[in-house]
Structure 1
Amino acid sequence: MSTNIGFIYAHPDDETFLSACLIKSLADNGERPVLLLATRGDAGKKNGDVAHLTNDELAAMRTEEMDTAARILGLNHVEHLGYPDGKLNMMDQEKFVDEVVSFINRHELKIVFTFPEDGGNFHPDHMTISKITAEAVHSGRCPSVQKMYYSISDTLRAQGRTPSVHIDTRPSWELKAAALKAHQSQIFAIARYFGDLSACPENRRYESFVLAWERGTLWPVKQERSIMADLL
């Protein structure tokens, strides 16, 4: 029986930067990975040759790019909330939490992945979607959820947090590179992080995640062979 697993991020391409190989491995194993994006990335005009586009035109382009990446990664479903890029912390936070709760419950998610509290790089949108997702999971309104993971960050490491799960991207680098290339409008940002995509950069080799919450317990300390470990 397959397990519904949700990835909740801010922009198209976040899913590939942080978790492409994890998503693909889940899909290949018969699980049902789904993705919720808070924005369509309509403000990301400095990361490719797209400065001439309007926000609506860029949003449409990035939605198509996301569809292509989703097919590469094997995502079962992609949903966009359509909030304005760069302004998540200005939105009605109560309504925002309600929408994330609704997504989690519609898909009966058992496991949720999102950004860490610092957003990984202190991007306000990343920090906001982390906060909103955590509030949804901690609210008690999502009874299907058993685990929530954060992607690793320097802040978490400084706090003494260690990843519960590591995914080595080197064996599947061609897959991850193809999904990154699908987000062509953001190619400048992709190059800053991953180079020309001809080979897996050593400093970006692993997709690593910290178990932040498990059935009511914050920060359980454990190493896991699989995110599916200890599910009820």
Structure 2
Amino acid sequence: MKKRYILFIYAHPDDETFASGITISKYSQDKNTHSHLLCATRGQAGKAGDPPICSVEELPQQRESELRMAASILGLASVDLLDYEDKHLGEVPSTELVHHIHAAIEKFQPEVVVTFAPHGISGHPDHRAISAATTQAIHTLPKDTSVRKLYYATRASNSTFGAIQPPFSDPIESITTEIAGPEYRPQVAEALRAHRTQHLSVERVFPGVTTGEYASVPPLNQYILAWTNLADYKITGKEDDFFYGIK
């Protein structure tokens, strides 16, 4: 069977688990599917934990280590980091970010690319910036690109994001794709715990996870199909597979 590739493009360590943990875990079980992550920063503007797990100076290296542990738990095939400054991604020239994204697409040859919805779910400016750059990159790819679909990670307005209502969401009618995998909730919880410095955020959004529980982890991830170059592609109901319609 032909190998299939997904490229997740996010801003910070832990975005991958918060937004797409179920999805990555599910596709990692398919030996013919390989998921890769391009992460734009090392999350150096985040907290070091309470009490602190490391110094402020050590935080970028610590968060990278946590990301690689979480990636291993989820089953990501690789993690590439761009090393931009956390909270300053919007100041990076868009052409520069697009260049890096094009290079990652050339490297991994994904059929599917996933990033944040334009609002970034939390509204974080880095989330918005990486969404905008990824969208621009997709729309400026050559005609012979491997990419067939671009998805935006989001949450439906009629549901919560773990235990909270996210600042930004989309109407359930706008959700085109739901990747469900309730059996992977313990795996996602373990990946969330790997982000040790971010335990306050993890516990706020997913209560109980830091103490070994996983009931607050949603059983599915939700997406909007933002772009496709598949001719005459139509969705009936909601997709349950990124590769639906790709031959």
TM-score by length of 2: 0.85
Output the CA distance in 1 between the equivalents of 2:215 and 2:47. Answer: 26
User: Retained in 1: the 8 A contact 2:26–2:184?
Assistant: no
**Residue 163 of structure 1 pairs with residue 176 of structure 2:** yes
User: Retained in 1: the 8 A contact 2:44–2:86?
Assistant: yes
User: Retained in 2: the 8 A contact 1:212–1:220?
Assistant: no
Aligned-residue sequence identity (percent) comes to 31
Q: State the 1:52 CA deviation.
A: 6.4
Secondary structure of the residue aligned to 1:185 is helix
After TM superposition, the structure 1 stretch with the greater mean CA deviation from structure 2, 21-30 or 43-52, is 43-52
Secondary structure of the residue aligned to 1:7 is strand
Structure having the higher helix fraction is 1
Query: In structure 1, what is the equivalent of residue 22 of structure 2?
Result: 21
How many positions carry a matched residue from both structures? 228
Q: Partner letter of residue 124 of structure 2?
A: H
Query: In structure 1, what is the equivalent of residue 229 of structure 2?
Result: 215
Query: In structure 2, what is the equivalent of residue 145 of structure 1?
Result: 147
User: Retained in 2: the 8 A contact 1:152–1:163?
Assistant: no
Q: Partner letter of residue 242 of structure 2?
A: I
User: Retained in 2: the 8 A contact 1:41–1:62?
Assistant: yes
User: Retained in 2: the 8 A contact 1:112–1:149?
Assistant: yes
Query: In structure 2, what is the equivalent of residue 224 of structure 1?
Result: 239
Output the CA distance in 2 between the equivalents of 1:2 and 1:110. Answer: 10
User: Retained in 2: the 8 A contact 1:9–1:115?
Assistant: yes
**Residue 200 of structure 1 pairs with residue 215 of structure 2:** yes
Query: In structure 2, what is the equivalent of residue 59 of structure 1?
Result: 60
User: Retained in 1: the 8 A contact 2:42–2:84?
Assistant: yes
Could you give the per-residue CA deviations for residues 20-47 of structure 1, whole angstroms, max 9, x where no partner exists?
1211221210111000000010110276
Q: State the 1:126 CA deviation.
A: 0.3
Taking a change above 3 Å as real, the CA distance of residues 125 and 174 of structure 1, as seen in their structure-2 partners, is: same
User: Retained in 1: the 8 A contact 2:9–2:38?
Assistant: yes
Q: Partner letter of residue 46 of structure 2?
A: G
Q: State the 1:163 CA deviation.
A: 3.3
RMSD over aligned CA atoms reads: 2.2
Q: State the 1:220 CA deviation.
A: 6.0
Could you give the per-residue CA deviations for residues 88-108 of structure 1, whole angstroms, max 9, x where no partner exists?
001122111111111111111
Q: State the 1:216 CA deviation.
A: 7.1
Output the CA distance in 1 between the equivalents of 2:35 and 2:169. Answer: 25
Query: In structure 2, what is the equivalent of residue 175 of structure 1?
Result: 187
Unaligned 5+ runs, structure 2: 158-167
Secondary structure of the residue aligned to 2:224 is strand
Unaligned 5+ runs, structure 1: none
Query: In structure 1, what is the equivalent of residue 160 of structure 2?
Result: none
Taking a change above 3 Å as real, the CA distance of residues 48 and 110 of structure 1, as seen in their structure-2 partners, is: farther
Q: State the 1:128 CA deviation.
A: 0.4
